[in-house]
Amino acid sequence: MLKIKSSVVSAIEYNQNNQTLMVELRNGGMYQYQNVTKNIFKNFLRSKSKGRYYSSKIVGKDFKEFNKISGYTRLSPNGKKVSVRPHIRPM
């Protein structure tokens, strides 16, 4: 995930193959949105206020929104189990 400098959004990730946007919020929420165009993602990255863009252009719009996603465990490069936030998985 791409870390973001914002008081609302902490990280985002986009999968253009299935047009899925993952948004991690500073309050711990993690949301996945489907049917997000590449243009929306690019505008999100370019926006001066990520929190304002997220609230006005993504939340409550015509994207299929999934519930809050919880973390999971995977192996780190050195073979140890670590808890991490999920990455975008093909749907």
Residues 14-26: b if buried by 16+ CB within 10 A, e if exposed = bbeeebbbbbbbe
Residues 52-61 have pLDDT tens digits of 999 999 887 7
pTM across the whole model = 0.70
Lowest mean pLDDT among 13-22, 54-63, 67-76: 67-76
Q: Is the pLDDT of residue 65 over 70?
A: no
